[in-house]
């Protein structure tokens, strides 16, 4: 096996461990009015309230070249740490660093060459609505409109896409969305795929606003965010809100102001 093939295997395992650990540690939330109206992500124990947890994990490694403009081999760790220290207030960037073993992953600048997104159809799956793809597009654009250097272009040819969004009836585990992304060895994300369910695995159907909220969460992962413990954020493991919070916005902006890679010395 080539060295490049090993990278995603190494990071897949701890992330799976993280997901498993969180299932056992999370207690039942007190249902909030907005939550019960917008069930999005939840654990199995959350029963009828919940929709899903997701897994965000690095999958296969795409042999994409590292952008020449900013390799992490040259970034100044001291400078990055300083910028983190100054910019982390009001964000959950430190939780992400813990979850990611002190490394940040993000897309390179894709303003002039937008990330091509193909959104599939769930026609034929019970519970499908022709309005769902528009909600997913809304989610991509809401994150992009924060001013991060990533634009999205929605394409009709899946072969031409960097990102694929597909639909299933339900997951066999208590999740309602799943994001898989791949990075190169410099921690630049190079492609990603999102799977969205139309039903919680307990059977509850998702409506338009739930699909939008799940999509916001999964696109957050696609762009490099991980979970926060604050349940008022869209990036909490069990989504309870419909919109991005100030912390969601601030964390994404901070992530895209920093180079990707480990902030540890010697890594």
**Chain residues in the site for Zn ion (CB under 5 A):** 54
Minimal distance, residue 8 CB to Zn ion, in Å: 18
Q: What is the DSSP letter of 229?
A: S
Minimal distance, residue 70 CB to Zn ion, in Å: 27
Q: Which is nearer to Zn ion, 54 or 199 (CB)?
A: 54
Minimal distance, residue 84 CB to Zn ion, in Å: 22
Q: What is the DSSP letter of 118?
A: E
Minimal distance, residue 56 CB to Zn ion, in Å: 6
Q: Which is nearer to Zn ion, 44 or 155 (CB)?
A: 44
CA 81 to chain centre: 23
Helices 208-222 and 132-144: angle between axes, nearest 10 degrees: 40
Q: Which is nearer to Zn ion, 54 or 200 (CB)?
A: 54
Q: How many CA atoms lie within 13 A of 216 on its CB side?
A: 28
Q: Which is nearer to Zn ion, 116 or 170 (CB)?
A: 170
For the chain, state the CA radius of gyration.
Answer: 18
Residue nearest to Zn ion (CB): 54
Q: Which is nearer to Zn ion, 54 or 183 (CB)?
A: 54
Q: How many residues does the chain have?
A: 267
Residue 117 sits at φ, ψ, to 5 deg, of: -115, 125
The three state secondary structure string of 60-99 is CCCCCCCCCCCCCCCCCHHHHHHHHHHHCCCCCHHHHHHH
Minimal distance, residue 183 CB to Zn ion, in Å: 17
């Amino acid at each position: 096996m080539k060295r490049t093939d090993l990278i995603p295997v190494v990071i897949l395992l701890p992330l799976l461990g993280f997901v498993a650990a969180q299932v056992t540690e999370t207690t039942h939330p007190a249902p909030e009015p907005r939550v019960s109206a917008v069930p999005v992500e939840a654990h199995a124990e959350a029963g009828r309230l919940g929709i899903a947890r997701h897994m965000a994990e690095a999958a296969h490694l795409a042999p994409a070249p590292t952008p020449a403009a900013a390799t992490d081999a040259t970034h100044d760790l001291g400078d990055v740490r300083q910028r983190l220290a100054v910019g982390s207030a009001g964000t959950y960037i430190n939780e992400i660093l813990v979850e990611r073993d002190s490394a940040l992953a993000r897309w390179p600048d894709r303003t002039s060459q937008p990330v091509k997104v193909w959104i599939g159809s769930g026609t034929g799956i019970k519970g499908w609505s022709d309005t769902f793809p528009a909600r997913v597009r809304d989610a991509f654009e809401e994150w992009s409109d924060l001013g991060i250097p990533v634009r999205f272009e929605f394409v009709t040819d899946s072969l031409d896409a960097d990102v694929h969004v597909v639909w299933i009836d339900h997951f066999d585990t208590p999740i309602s969305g799943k994001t898989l992304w791949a990075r190169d060895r410099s921690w630049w994300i190079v492609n990603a795929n999102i799977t969205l369910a139309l039903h919680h695995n307990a059977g509850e159907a998702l409506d338009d606003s739930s699909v939008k909220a799940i999509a916001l969460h999964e696109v957050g992962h696609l762009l490099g965010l991980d979970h926060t413990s604050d349940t008022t954020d869209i990036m909490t493991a069990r989504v309870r809100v419909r919109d991005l919070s100030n912390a969601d916005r601030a964390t994404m902006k901070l992530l895209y102001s920093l180079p990707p890679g480990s902030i540890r010395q010697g890594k």
